[in-house]
Every structure is written in structure tokens, then in C-alpha cells.
């Protein structure tokens, strides 16, 4: 058994869960009686909610949770029990156990790119019109945020909670000193501007090549902007020249343009934020509004602005994508477990935390943009304007259960290229091989998805 640690563990968990629950699952839709005015009475019940632990604001998160629990209790009489997961892997394990055993949290908070995978398990409620009304109506949400809630607009499982679109931050002083009057809107311009700012230990661009997510987001964005959405029906188009061009551009910042710190091959996104915060970088790529609290306490406080990331693909003069694809559609969705016996209570909870006031309150504490359209419209902070813009110009990643594998493949090309990056040159044939490998694995995964 020692050899089979992970699988063995999964099997143990599975077996234990089965044994404990006796495969219990029912399709009960109760969860407190609903009175005529739409209020759910959940007296004596406890709703279980699984959320991402906030490593950045742990204290505030606890405070927010206890506040919300009190409000929910006042409204429905039911308690809320929050459980947290520390990483995506952690979350996945919880979901798998719950999916197999048919018991666990009632409400899950999922990252947007993970929503298709979760949807593929069919373990979460696809909302009916009636269900949408119970969470306050589909109209209360910013329409763009619904883009990755389901495979099409009639089959939506994810209820948007917050938007976290990606933007870039720039150091106003450094740009001005280099004679640049406005941030770049094409990747070519970006590299050119970055070159002007790179000197004496200051670099044009701060980014982390060792991050677990950023690399594939760059490649995805540049490819989509060049007119290749990566997944076309059942075909994966990772062997398209646009993808290679994207990698070359992304790696080129380090190898050709020399506009990023060579140490960034070992950086994650937080290292890049730290470099930018110390005033040593012109642009901070792939960041979100949740960097505001950090940057406002740093050396660049008051000297930085956000801007949309370039939307014109490398080597192009205009965007070839329908819509600008300024960012992946990013943020958190809420899903209700199919096995939950208190779905109405779950919907009531979601209704509460997606209400205008609660969304604004959340934005103030954590920096994430509201998914609630009304709340989004009231944000007037000039700094948030480009972020809100990016939210509107976000584009969903392909909605397929194979996306996890595809994303892993895109990331893996970067991981395996890091030694070449360190040596200062990424060999073209090696890059071709890596891309081809990712294409094959991703295509196999897509094939299974179309059968599944």
C-alpha cells in the first residue's frame, strides 16, 4: 500500500465516505419552508459553505464571515458554517469526496477557470428560471460575468460572486522619465516602451515566469487576440503559429528584449508585485485590483495607475478577436451542490451576499470587483475605472471539462522552458516539441470531453 500513496488515499477517502454515508443522497429540495413573501425560514438549520481562504486578508475574512453569518441568521434564522480551503488542490479533493459520497458543503465558491471542470462532474445545480429568481434574478449580475457559468446561456450553474479581471499597473514616474505619455495598447509597443525604461537595475516589466497561472494567461490572451481561441469545437489549436508567436513574445522579454529581471525565472506573481512595489519596474503585468492594498502601503503609493493590458496581438496592428479580450473572465462563482437538502437556504444565502450593499462592502475590504451590476455601476474611484473596463472586456476561457488539461499543457511549456530561459535562449525546435506535446495531450483530453 505504501507505494500507492495518492491513489490509495483517494480510494480510502472514497471508501470511508461511502461507508459513512451509506451512499445517501436524495433530491430533496427543502431547506426550510418558503413563506409567501419569499423569505426562507431556516430556523435550526445550518448551511455549510466552502470558500477559499484569503491569505492576504485573513483577519478581515474572519470578520466578514461572522458579520455575514449574523445577517443571515437575522434574515432566515439559520446558521452558516464556513469551511475554507487553502489551495485549488485542497478544494478539488473536497469536491471529489463530496461528489462521490453525496454529502459535504451546500455552497462552494469556485474560481472561474475551474467552473467548467466542476460542471463536468454534474454534481452542481443548473439553475432554472425559478432558481435564478431565488437568488435575486439573473438581471442583478453584470452580464459579462455570466460568461463562464455554464456551456450556454440556458444551462448556467455558476452564480457570479466577484470579478477579478487582470490588468497591468504602471509606474507613472518611470513612464514619464522615459518620455512615454500613455501606456501601451499593443504587445509590440509594450516591449518597445519597456526597453526605454530598462536601465540601472530598473526593468521595464515585472512578471513571474515560475507562477502557477500567469504564463498560460499570457499565451491565451495573445492567441485569442490574434484570432485563435485555442479551442474550436472539438479541435485544439495549440499548434497554431499564433501560439508559438505568443510564447516567443513572452519568453522574448527575457531573452531578446531583456526588459525583465533575469531572476524572474524563479518568481511567482507575488515576487513581481514586490519588485514593482519597490519602484524597480515600469509595468506590473497580470495583476488585479486586490494588489491595491499592498501597493498603497509601498514605495510606489500614489505613483501608480492601472491600465488595460495590451489587446493587440504581437506583430499585429489591430485586435482580431471579436471583443477585446483584455483579460480572462476571472473571479469567483458560487455553485450549489446537487445533493444539498437545503437548496432554498443556499439560494437565500447567495441572494444575501450578491446584494448590492454586501457586494460593495466586500469590494471595500478585499478589493475584488462586484458581480452585482448595480454595485459595479456605483464604483467611482478613478483608479478602478480601468479595472471595471477590463471586467467588461473580459473573455471567457473555453467552457470544456478538458480545460484543466489544456491549461496544464500551456503552463508546462513554460515550466520546461525555464532552463533555456536561464541560459538566455529558448531553442526553437525544443519549443516546437513542447508545444506539440501539449497539443497532443490537450487534444486527447478534448476527445474524451466530447465523449463524456
Partner 1 sequence: MSTDASHEVRPAVDSTAGRAPRTANEAGQQPGPKDGLRRKGLSERNRPLWMLIPGGVLMIIIIVVPLLLGIYMSILNLDQYTLRKWVSAPIIGAENFVEAVTNSPLLHAVWLSVSYSLLAMVVTLPLGIAAAVATQNAFKGRAVIRSIFLIPYVLPSFVVATVWRTMLQPGGIVDEALSTVGIHVGLWLNGPQTFWTLVLVQIWASWPFIYLLALSGLQSVDHEVHEASALDGALWWNKLRYVIFPYLKGPLALAFLIGMLHHINNFTLPFVLFGVPAPTDVEVLPILTYVTSFQSFRFGLSAAMAFISLVLIAIPLFVYLRAVKLDDADTPGAKK
In the complex, the residues that contact partner 1 under the rule CB under 8 A are 1-8, 10-12, 14-15, 89, 92-93, 96, 99-100, 117, 120-123, 210, 212, 262-263, 265-266, 401, 404-405, 408, 411-412, 415-416, 418-419, 422, 445, 448-449, 451-452
Q: Cell numbers 419552508 correspond to what residue?
A: 33
φ, ψ dihedrals at 182, nearest 5°: -145, 150
In angstroms, the CA 245 to CA 323 distance is 21
Torsion of CA 430, 432, 437, 438, to 10 degrees: 110
> C-beta of 232: minimal distance to partner 1 in Å?
21
CA 141 to chain centre: 17
State the nearest-atom distance from the C-beta of 3 to partner 1, in Å: 5
Collapse the DSSP code of 214 into the 3-class scheme (helix H, G, I; strand E, B; otherwise coil) and give the result: helix
Measured from the CB of residue 418, what is the shortest distance to partner 1 in angstroms? 4
Query: Is the Cβ of residue 189 or residue 437 nearer to partner 1 in the bound state?
Result: 437
Q: Nearer to partner 1 by C-beta: 369 or 421?
A: 421
For residues 114 and 137, what is the distance between their CA atoms, to the nearest angstrom? 24
> 395: part of which helix (H) or strand (E)?
strand 394-395
| Between 11 and 299, CB nearer to partner 1 | 11
- In whole angstroms, the minimum distance from the beta carbon of 408 to partner 1 comes to 5
Phi–psi pair at 264, nearest 5 degrees? -70, -10
Nearer to partner 1 among residue 271 and residue 327 (C-beta): 271
Q: Would you state the cell numbers that stand for residue 377, as one nine-digit string?
A: 455601476
**Cβ closest to partner 1, residue 294 vs residue 416:** 416
Length of the chain: 452
Q: Is the dihedral of CA 347, 80, 144, 233 positive or negative?
A: negative
Q: How far is the CB of 249 from partner 1 (least distance, A)?
A: 21
| CA–CA separation, 85 and 354 (whole Å) | 21
Cell of 330: 476571472
Judged by beta carbon, residue 77 or residue 404, the one nearer partner 1 is 404
Minimum distance, C-beta of residue 258 to partner 1, in the bound complex (Å) = 16
CB of 346 to partner 1, least distance (A): 19
* Greatest Cα pair distance in the chain: 70
Give 28 or 266: the residue with its C-beta nearer to partner 1: 266
Amino acid at each position: 500500500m505504501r507505494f500507492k500513496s495518492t491513489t490509495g488515499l483517494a480510494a480510502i477517502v472514497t471508501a470511508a465516505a461511502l461507508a459513512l454515508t451509506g451512499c445517501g443522497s436524495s433530491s430533496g429540495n427543502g431547506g426550510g419552508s418558503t413563506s409567501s413573501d419569499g423569505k426562507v425560514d431556516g430556523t435550526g438549520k445550518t448551511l455549510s459553505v466552502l470558500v477559499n481562504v484569503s491569505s492576504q486578508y485573513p483577519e478581515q475574512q474572519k470578520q466578514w464571515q461572522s458579520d455575514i453569518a449574523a445577517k443571515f441568521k437575522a434574515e432566515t434564522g439559520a446558521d452558516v458554517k464556513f469551511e475554507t480551503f487553502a489551495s485549488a488542490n485542497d478544494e478539488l479533493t473536497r469536491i471529489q469526496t463530496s461528489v462521490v459520497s453525496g454529502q459535504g458543503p451546500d455552497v462552494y465558491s469556485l474560481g472561474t477557470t475551474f467552473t467548467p471542470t466542476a460542471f463536468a462532474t454534474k454534481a452542481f445545480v443548473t439553475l432554472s428560471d425559478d432558481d435564478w429568481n431565488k437568488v435575486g434574478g439573473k438581471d442583478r449580475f453584470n452580464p459579462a460575468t455570466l460568461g463562464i457559468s455554464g456551456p450556454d446561456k440556458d444551462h448556467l450553474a455558476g452564480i457570479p460572486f466577484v470579478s477579478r479581471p487582470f490588468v497591468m499597473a504602471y509606474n507613472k514616474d518611470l513612464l514619464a522619465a522615459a518620455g512615454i505619455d500613455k501606456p501601451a495598447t499593443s504587445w509590440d509597443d509594450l516591449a518597445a516602451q519597456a526597453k526605454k525604461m530598462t536601465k540601472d537595475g530598473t526593468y521595464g516589466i515585472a512578471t513571474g515566469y515560475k507562477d502557477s497561472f500567469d504564463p498560460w494567461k499570457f499565451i491565451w490572451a495573445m492567441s485569442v487576440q490574434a484570432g485563435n481561441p485555442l479551442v474550436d469545437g472539438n479541435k485544439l489549436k495549440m499548434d497554431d503559429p499564433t501560439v508559438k508567436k505568443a510564447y516567443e513574445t513572452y519568453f522574448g522579454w527575457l531573452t531578446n528584449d531583456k526588459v525583465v529581471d533575469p531572476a524572474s525565472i524563479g518568481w511567482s506573481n507575488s515576487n513581481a508585485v514586490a519588485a514593482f512595489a519597490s519602484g524597480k519596474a515600469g509595468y506590473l503585468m497580470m495583476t488585479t485590483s486586490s494588489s491595491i492594498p499592498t501597493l498603497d502601503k509601498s514605495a510606489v503609493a500614489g505613483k501608480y495607475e492601472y491600465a488595460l493590458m495590451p489587446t493587440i496581438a504581437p506583430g499585429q496592428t489591430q485586435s482580431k478577436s471579436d471583443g477585446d479580450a483584455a483579460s480572462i473572465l476571472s473571479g469567483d462563482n458560487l455553485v450549489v451542490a446537487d445533493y444539498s437538502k437545503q437548496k432554498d437556504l443556499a439560494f437565500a444565502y447567495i441572494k444575501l451576499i450578491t446584494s448590492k450593499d454586501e457586494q460593495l462592502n466586500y469590494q471595500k475590504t478585499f478589493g475584488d470587483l462586484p458581480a452585482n451590476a448595480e454595485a459595479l455601476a456605483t464604483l467611482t474611484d478613478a483608479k478602478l475605472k480601468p479595472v471595471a473596463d477590463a471586467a467588461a472586456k473580459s473573455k471567457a476561457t473555453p467552457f470544456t471539462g478538458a480545460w484543466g488539461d489544456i491549461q496544464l499543457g500551456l503552463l508546462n511549456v513554460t515550466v520546461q522552458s525555464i532552463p533555456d530561459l536561464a541560459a538566455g535562449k529558448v531553442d526553437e525546435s525544443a519549443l516546437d516539441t513542447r508545444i506539440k506535446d501539449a497539443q497532443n495531450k490537450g487534444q486527447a483530453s478534448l476527445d474524451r470531453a466530447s465523449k463524456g
